[in-house]
Homo-oligomer: A and B are copies of this chain.
Amino acid sequence: MRDQHYTGRQRHYMEEALFEADQAALIGEVPIGAVIVHDNQIVGRGHNLREHGNDATMHAEVRAIEEACGTLKSWRLEDCQLYVTIEPCLMCSGAIINSRIPEVFYGARDPKAGAVDSLYETLTDSRLNHTVTVHEGLLAKDAGERMVQFFRAARVRQKARKKARRAAAQAGPSRK
């Protein structure tokens, strides 16, 4: 669906998720952000924090779900919507199902790990005890561009490090 088909409120919440993604990028984390909305209020927000948190479960969606569960004092997020900038992975899709979130808006697809449309279609799998209404593509360009920029910069840094190592090796052992 094109951005103009979404309501201003829906675009606003995805912009909040993009703000979270920017918080991740600022500290060198993969720029993915999420917010959870209940009764037109943001009750949970999160961004990827795997490296700084030293914890593989610290994805944006899981952190937003944990915060929303705390805010609403319930593991059931039945009347909530989740907005996330990039297609959820297996873990996050499972967390969405386990917390009974009924509606998910995501920006850009993740062809390598996406478990909503790309590799799996977990959120709409009728064999599971909960299915989710999914809206794909809201502010997808903004979400995708952040990822492209992040990984381009990471490759530049990696090349620079390799070059520095080669230069150090050619210069021979230090005299110290």
| Interface residues, chain A, with chain B CB atoms under 8 Å away | 50-51, 53-59, 62, 65-66, 69-70, 73-77, 89-95, 97-100, 112-113, 115, 119-120, 122, 125, 127-129
Contact = CB atoms under 8 A, between A and B. Distances in A.
A97 B58 CA distance: 13
B99 A128 contact: no
Contact of A99 (B57, B90, B113, B125): B57
A91 B94 contact: yes
Prevailing SS type, chain A contact patch: loop
B55 A69 contact: yes
6 contacts: A53-B75, A56-B100, A57-B57, A89-B98, A94-B94, A112-B129
